[in-house]
Structure 1
Amino acid sequence: MSPGEALAVVAAGLGAGVLTATVGVASLLSFPVLLAVGLPPVVANASNTVGLTPGALSGSWGYRAELREHPRVTLVVTLTCGVGSIAGALLLLVLPPGVFEAVVPWLILFTCLLVGAQPRISAWVRRRAEARGEVPAERLLPGPFTTAGTALTGVYGGYFGAGSGVMALAVLALGLDIELRVLNALKTLAILAANVVASVIFVVLADLDWAVIGLLAVGSVVGGHVGARIGRRLPAPLLRTLVVLVGVTAAVVLVVG
């Protein structure tokens, strides 16, 4: 690897760390860079997951105050997404490369639609309940739908992960009556849980490029910290708009690529 390529990997890690803690499409930035420096797709994918894990850890630490506001939800999201990522990591190692290429862009587009429409959907559900004379209870713990969606997000995160943060935010926003800044923190934690579990599996079973992992880790740690500082200061409407715009862009890039 040349000095220029090494610098590009560090920069990709930095940008990916920022994206992990804000809009959640980190792998869309870092994965193509790893391919460009000559890594085979599966090695690049696995190395990318391991290398970005410190960035997700840094971002989650930056959101520690938000995560303490709802400790039970934090625990459930961590465990559910982590368990789901076991299946995703194993699928990466046994399925042919690119098996999800056709469906992933549409999945990201659908979750972008959910993120954008979530306030209207939630308001419509609440009005329907009030019209029936019911008083909707605050949803402060994940129900079956939210738990299943979080687990599926973990599966996807362990397999590839580009746009997994958008998916996690959509699932959590639809299923929980919690402020968006806290949901963004939970999204970052969900990415961390998926990355940690998948990384353990990849260290044991996958071919990895440790030089690339080290360079990504250096950049992503700084990026995750910066991203958390940015993410907690963004007004909810702006954050939601950015997530949708970046998610749609990610889907288009995947289709074109």
Structure 2
Amino acid sequence: MDLLGSIFVFFAGLWAGTINSVVGSGTLVTFPVLIALGFAPVTASISNATGLVAGNAAGAWGYRKELAGRRSQLIRLLPASLLGGITGAYLLLHLPEVVFQYAAPALIVLALLMVAFQPRLQRWVQSRESDPETAARDKRHSVLLVVLVYLAGVYGGYFVAAQGILLVGILGVFMAGTIQNANAMKNILVLGVNIVAAASYLLFAFDRISWPAVALIAVSSLIGGFIGSKVGRRLPPNVLRSVIFTLGLVALGFMIAKLVN
């Protein structure tokens, strides 16, 4: 990367770290930038996921107060999330790269749809907060919750983008508490998935990682994670979603262009 490219990656990581802690889908900021700079899709995905671990950790720490009283739920859900992350990372590393080249555009479309419908999803979540039957449903659907968290982990280990939005939706429906509790739990589960995925990449795909990109994203997303946990909730969500959606379309355009050529 040249100096200008490094600047773009740094600010993309800063933004991604900020919105990951409060919204999710920060990968739809960093991944398109890496693709636009000429990185191969798998290299971009691996480097991006590895670098964003620092930002995930900062966001999880910033939301630690919202996890009070959630230890038993965390102990139950984190193993499923970790196992899903390992599965997704395995698929990314062992399926032919051409599979990712075709799958990534479809996954970007799925992620963009989740971003676009996030307000409706959040209203659905918030409408449950005063539901007296929530606790009973949590017990009744505990197995389904674990399965869905595992599948979200598979998705996250393979592609990362919008995993947080997917998890907030799952946790908001099947876990008692407020949307902030769901968001705090989401930050921990996403951190777990990205750690095991990054560890898999270090062990089995070391030569496919762009370390300059990882370093820039790690430092900037760490800063962004702390910013997001402090003041990110005050940012206009419509502005964030608009930028994420636009950059996601850019990534989609670049990847489709590569497939056509």
TM-score (norm 2): 0.80
Partner of 2:257: none
- The 2-side partners of 1:140 and 1:230 are apart by 31
Partner of 1:190: 189
1:161 alignment partner, SS class: coil
- The 1-side partners of 2:226 and 2:77 are apart by 21
Partner of 2:259: none
Cα RMSD, aligned residues only: 3.0
Given residue 165 of structure 1, which amino acid in structure 2 is its aligned partner?
G
What are the within-5 Å matches in structure 2 for residues 24-173 of structure 1?
24-95=24-95, 96-101=99-104, 103-105=106-108, 107-108=110-111, 109=113, 113=117, 116-117=120-121, 120=124, 136=133, 138=135, 143-173=142-172
- The 1-side partners of 2:249 and 2:39 are apart by 23
| Aligned-residue offset at 1:107 | 3.9
| Aligned-residue offset at 1:242 | 8.0
Partner of 1:131: none
Deviations for 1:27-80, whole angstroms, at most 9, x for unmatched residues?
110011112223211111101110000000011011111123311222333222
Q: Which region of structure 1 is more displaced relative to structure 2, 216-225 or 109-118?
A: 109-118
Deviations for 1:98-152, whole angstroms, at most 9, x for unmatched residues?
342464356443686586256558869x98xxxxxxx735256771221111111
| Aligned-residue offset at 1:19 | 1.5
1:97 alignment partner, SS class: helix
The verdict on how the C-alpha distance between 1:45 and 1:145 changes in structure 2, with shifts beyond 3 A counting, is: same
- The 1-side partners of 2:116 and 2:149 are apart by 16
Matched, 1:215 2:213: no
- The 2-side partners of 1:92 and 1:7 are apart by 28
Partner of 1:229: 230
Q: Which region of structure 1 is more displaced relative to structure 2, 244-253 or 142-151?
A: 244-253
Partner of 2:175: 176
Partner of 1:130: none
- The 1-side partners of 2:9 and 2:105 are apart by 27
CA contact (8 A) 1:58 1:221 kept: yes
- Number of positions where the alignment pairs a residue of Structure 1 with one of Structure 2: 245
1:80 alignment partner, SS class: helix
CA contact (8 A) 2:32 2:251 kept: no
Given residue 14 of structure 1, which amino acid in structure 2 is its aligned partner?
L
CA contact (8 A) 2:20 2:59 kept: yes
Partner of 2:258: none
- The 2-side partners of 1:242 and 1:140 are apart by 34
Given residue 9 of structure 2, which amino acid in structure 1 is its aligned partner?
V
Deviations for 1:219-257, whole angstroms, at most 9, x for unmatched residues?
0000011111135x559xx87x78987887677666655
Q: Percent identity?
A: 31
CA contact (8 A) 2:25 2:115 kept: no
Task: Indicate the structure with greater helix content.
Answer: 2
